[in-house]
Amino acid sequence: MRRAVIAFTAFLGGLIILLSAGAANAWAEGEGLRGTLTFQGQPVNGVKITVTTESGAPVGEATSDAKGAWEVPVPATGKYTVKLDASTLPPNAAVRGGNLTRTPSVFEGNVSTVLFALVAADGAAQPGEEPEASAESRWWTRVAQLTFEGFNLGLIIALAAMGLSLIFGTTGLTNFAHGELVTLGAVFTFFFSSVVGLPVILAGVVAVVMGGAFGYLQDRYFWGVLRGRGTGLIGMMIISIGVALFLRYAILFFFGPQSLPYNEYAGQPGIDVGPITAAPKNFIAMGIELTVLIVAGLALLKTRTGKAARAVADNPALAASSGINVDRVIRIIWTAGGAVAALAGVMLGLSQNVQYQMGQDMLLLIFAGVTLGGLGTAFGALVGALVVGLFIQLSTLWVPPELKSLGALAVLIIVLLLRPQGILGRRERIG
Amino acid sequence: MDWLTILVTTVEAAVGVETVVYALAALGVNIQFGYSGLLNFGQAAFLGVAGYGLAVIVSTFGLPFWLGIVVGLASVVVFAFLLGVPTLKLRADYLAIVTIAAAEIVRLIFRSVAFKDVFGGSDGRRAFSGTFYDMNPFPPGQYGIGPFGFSERVLWVLVLGWFLVGISCLAIYLLMKSPWGRVLKAIREDEDAVRSLGKNVFSYKMQALILGGVVGCFGGFVYALAFASVQPDVFGTELTFYAYTIVILGGAARVFGPVLGASIFWVLLVLVGNTLSEAVSAGYITFMTTTQVGPVRFMLVGLGLILLLVFRPQGIFGDKREIALDAR
């Protein structure tokens, strides 16, 4: 009970920090404004939209196309004024509330969506309580949507976090190169689909296999050897930074600085499920992630190797003396950890563009998840990662999206202060 | 192949602005990591806080330059204190994660749209170095020997920068010879033993963190003034990682280790980079393009860091017994 209270307090504390910080991190390049105009379920064609800066300098114009969509790229982040030309609307349509201007903020790398809800022209005099009710229901729709997105992100973090946590538990290595294993998954998928020509699904499978092989080779020829030499834990941690730099720039060397989507499933249209709108790929990806996490969890609980892995994570010396082949267990964990991290990258590449820094950007969130759950515990990493994912997305209800990661990092610090062993961790000396 | 350009840029890199900035950052890391065993992975934030402190005071609020320097220094001390109070009780690996997270928080705030009016978003701040260059005693012109030389602006930055490096080295030398320095080294070797002797370990660690931050923050000032601008992404985690590479290359817990490390680091980086891009454009190397030379340089940094720690953790000038690489 006490642990739950403390964990919850930390969570609340993070929320408070977020609220007081009051302000957004996006991953993609290129800022802009866009929207879709529909009237009575039909797209509205030919409506003129004008974008100016806050001070009134013109930025651009757009006219909605056959699908009702318009988009204006903007040169920099900041506040813009978007005006809809009412004379270009269909004669029987009007903007709800009658306000033809919007002043959205554009954040780094974000394309902001601007809403103009169109209603029948005589509908401007609707009953007064209607907009209020809809405002509240819109808020709850947003909560539902963000919760869904939070689970989506949380599951990806969980995949990466599980491997990181088990590697830490069994070898004591704080692996700063784990983010690059995630990037590799996405980059391999991109390579095998766009360059080699396999379907994305098959390319993803190949990427996961290669991630596993890379994990195995890393332990077989690198980390295992270092452990054999008796390299200190801090030494290994700094070495992992060297590995991270090396891999990151090797990826940049081969892949280049651009940010590219997979050649399939990229612009999948969303479907509505209850209050949530999401592309079908997200549901399938989440299904796969959940399945993998459950299978991995069951393997840890039920199989001999899984039990051995938990024993090694608990106390390597004791595990070795009770006849467990510690090196073999560690190698299996590295292989599985590499494969699951690559899977996380494959899935991350579905929801954002492939780019050489994508894993690095996620690394601290992975650390946050692992620490929140309890370093070295597999299930703790799962719980912690989900909490971090949810926290990041739900925090955008109050803070701009560019600062959403900031909250997760603040939580990481607060957790380490109040309950350093994490939600599911065991108390030990960390000071 | 333009060997003369390669030679000139390489020699200039040995004493150049980047070398000064990184030497100061690494001197700070050396106090924290080399002498005290504190794994502060947030050094970039110290440089950032100082640079931004100066830039914001002068360019955002239009206040005098010297007030900017004072505010920059004061913010660094306050930041070190805020960072240290909660984290210095943590074990080494946890300390590393928390400090790196704190540095990222600082960077994200600097680049956020919400504080764009103050920190200038991802474009950063400029137009604050006028007073500094007005104080330049060197008349305009090119100073140097033969093909090697700097403009009067760069020379002024370098003279002050190396003066700061010299002062910092002298201070570190004197401090580490003093009883205070011996306590720090003892904390690195065995914290509990020092505590049992009645020393306030937390207070010593805090002093080391603040001192290292202040020395590092001179690097932030030098960067901001030399380039007459600050951008948030300059102060990312990689700056910290390179500072660690430099400390380990030169030799941790050695007064001049980080300075020589910074020189060697930048000489190698510039030499490799320029030689490769010359070789590529001259057609000697065909398997990569000039834009791919940049990544290769930093791949080599990563590889160098790995090889150093595996084969020679004490670096070039260090002593193996004096480097804290075991978690205790």
Lowest mean pLDDT among A156-165, A228-237, A414-423, B105-114: A414-423
Question: What does the pLDDT average to over B255-284?
Answer: 92
Better pLDDT: B163 or A423: B163
Q: Please give the Cα distance from A282 to A154 (Å, whole number).
A: 13
The answer to whether A177 faces chain B, any CB pair under 8 Å, is no
Confidence tier at A24 by pLDDT (50, 70, 90): very low
Q: Is residue B182 situated within a structural domain?
A: yes
Number of residues that make up chain A: 431
Q: Is the pLDDT of residue A87 over 80?
A: no
Q: What is the pLDDT of residue B154?
A: 93
- What structural domains and CATH numbers belong to chain A? 32-123 (2.60.40.10), 142-397 (1.10.3470)
According to DSSP, the β-strands at A48-53 and A78-84 are antiparallel
pLDDT in tens, B178-220: 999 999 999 999 889 999 999 999 999 999 999 999 999 999 9
Whether residues B302 and A405 touch (CB distance < 8 A) is answered with: no
Please state the rounded mean pLDDT for residues B155-173: 96
User: CB-based contacts of A325: which residues, under 8 Å, 6+ apart?
Assistant: A308
- Please name the residue of chain A whose CA is at the shortest distance from the CA of residue B293: A253
Q: Which of A169, A236, A430 is nearest to B91 (CA)?
A: A430
Does the pLDDT at position A417 exceed 80?
no
pLDDT digits (tens, 9 = 90+) for B33-56: 999 999 999 999 999 999 999 999
A419: left (phi over 0), alpha (psi -120 to 50) or beta: beta
Mean pLDDT of B229-256: 93
Does the pLDDT at position A142 exceed 70?
A: yes
* CATH assignment at residue B225: 1.10.3470
Does B221 reside within a domain? yes
Q: For the residues A146-173, what does the mean pLDDT come to?
A: 91
DSSP 3-state of A271: strand
Residues 6+ apart with CB under 8 A from A120: A40, A92, A93, A94
Q: Residue A173 CA to chain centroid, in angstroms?
A: 24
Q: What is the pLDDT of residue B217?
A: 95
| CB contact (8 A) between residue B98 and residue A412 | yes
Considering only residues A430 and B140, tell me which one the structure prediction assigns the higher pLDDT.
B140
Domain assignment of residue B327, yes or no:
no
Paired strand residues for A53: A80
pLDDT over 70, % of chain A: 84
At residue A293, the pLDDT reads 92
- For chain B, say whether A367 makes contact (Cβ under 8 Å): yes
What is the C-alpha to C-alpha distance for residues B169 and B259, in angstroms, rounded to an integer? 9
Share the mean pLDDT of chain A. 81
User: What one-character DSSP code corresponds to residue A260?
Assistant: B
**Does position A429 have pLDDT exceeding 60, yes or no?**
no
Q: Residue A234 is nearest to which of B98, B238, B324, comparing CB atoms?
A: B324
For residue A117, pLDDT beyond 80: no
Checking if the pLDDT of A10 tops 60, the result is no
> Can you give the pLDDT at residue A358?
92
The pLDDT tens digits of the residues spanning A381-412 come to: 888 999 999 999 998 888 888 888 888 888 88
Inter-chain CB proximity B325 and A241 less than 8 Å = no
* Percentage above 70 pLDDT, chain B: 98
Examine residue B132 and state whether it is found in any structural domain, yes or no.
Answer: yes
Contact flag A231-B301 (C-beta cutoff 8 Å): no
Closest listed residue to residue B37, CA positions, set B251, B164, B184: B184
Of B89, B92, B292, the CB nearest to A253: B292
User: What pLDDT shows up at residue B321?
Assistant: 80
Do B241 and A249 count as a contact with CB atoms less than 8 A apart? no
Determine, yes or no, domain membership for B239.
yes
> Can you give the three-state secondary structure of A93-117, one letter per residue?
EEEHHHCCEECCEECCCCEEECCCC
B224: in domain: yes
Is the pLDDT assigned to residue A98 strictly greater than 90? Answer: no
Query: Among all residues of chain B, which has the CA nearest to that of A421?
Result: B94
What is the ipTM for the molecules in this complex?
0.92
Contacts of A20 in chain B (CB under 8 A): none
For the cut 50, the answer to whether the pLDDT of residue A17 exceeds it is no
pLDDT score, position A12? 45
- pLDDT of A229 > 50? The answer is yes
Per-residue confidence band for A132, with pLDDT thresholds at 50, 70 and 90 = low
Q: Residue B328 falls within a domain, yes or no?
A: no
Nearest to A412 by CA among A423, A396, A428: A423
Residue A33 pLDDT > 90, yes or no? no
Out of A22, A237, A420, whose CB is closest to B114?
A22
Question: What is the predicted pLDDT for the residue at A15?
Answer: 43
Q: List the single range of A173-177, A373-377, A385-389 with lowest mean pLDDT.
A: A373-377
Number of domains forming the structure of chain B: 1
Q: Which residue has the higher pLDDT, A315 or A330?
A: A330
Q: Among A403-407, B3-7, B41-45, B172-176, name the one with the lowest average pLDDT.
A: A403-407
Full residue range of the structural domain in which residue B60 is found: 3-139+148-322
> In this predicted structure, what is the pLDDT of residue A30?
61
Taking the C-alpha atoms of residue A146 and residue A87, their distance in angstroms, rounded to an integer, is 36
CA A15/CA A419 separation, integer angstroms: 17
What is the 3 state secondary structure string of A63-99?
ECCCCCEEEEECCCCEEEEEEECHHHCCCCEEEHHHC
- Other C-beta atoms closer than 10 Å to the C-beta of A177 total 22
Q: Give how far A307 is from chain B: nearest CA, Å.
A: 26
What is the CB neighbour count within 10 angstroms for residue B288?
A: 16
pLDDT at residue A1 above 50?
no
Task: Report whether pLDDT(B303) > 90.
Answer: yes
pTM > 0.90: yes or no: no
Q: Nearest CB to B325: which of A235, A368, A409?
A: A235
How far apart, in Å, are the Cα atoms of B29 and each of A80, B70, B258?
43, 22, 9
CA A337 to chain centre: 18
* Structure confidence at residue A25 (pLDDT): 33
Q: What is the mean pLDDT of residues A16-32?
A: 43
Sequence-distant (6+) residues with CB within 8 A of A243 are A176, A177, A180, A222, B302, B306
- Give the per-residue pLDDT at A58: 72
**What is the model's pLDDT at position A21?**
37
- Contact check, Cβ <8 Å, A108/B302: no
- Which residues in chain B touch residue A249, judged by CB atoms under 8 angstroms apart? 295-299, 302
Mean pLDDT of A99-109: 71
Contact B299 A232 (CB under 8 A): no
Token look-up 């398997």 returns: B287
